[in-house]
Amino acid sequence: MFIKKEISELNRLNVEEFKSIEKIPLVVVLDNIRSQHNVGAVFRTCDAFLVEKIYLCGITATPPNREIHKAALGATESVDWEYFEKTTDVINSLKHHGFSIFALEQTQNSISFFEFGTDYKSAPATPTALILGNEVDGISDDVMALVDGALEIPQFGTKHSLNVSVSAGIAIWEIFKLLSK
Residue 162 has a pLDDT of: 94
Residue 181 has a pLDDT of: 72
From first to last of the 181 residues of the chain, give the pLDDT tens digit. 999 999 889 989 999 999 999 999 999 999 999 999 999 999 999 999 999 999 999 999 999 999 999 999 999 999 999 999 999 999 999 999 999 999 999 999 999 998 887 765 566 667 999 999 999 999 999 999 999 999 999 999 999 889 999 999 999 999 999 888 7
Q: Alpha-carbon distance 149 to 131, whole Å?
A: 10
Q: What global pTM score does this model have?
A: 0.94
Residues 6 or more apart whose CB falls under 8 angstroms from that of 96 comprise none
Q: Alpha-carbon distance 62 to 129, whole Å?
A: 19
Residue 21 has a pLDDT of: 95
Residue 129 has a pLDDT of: 97
Domains (range + CATH), the chain: 21-179 (3.40.1280.10)
Which residue, 30, 73, 20, 9, is CA-closest to 50?
20
- Burial letters for 114-153: b for 16+ Cβ neighbours within 10 Å, e otherwise? eebbeeeeeebeebbbbbbbbeeebbbeebbebbebbbbb
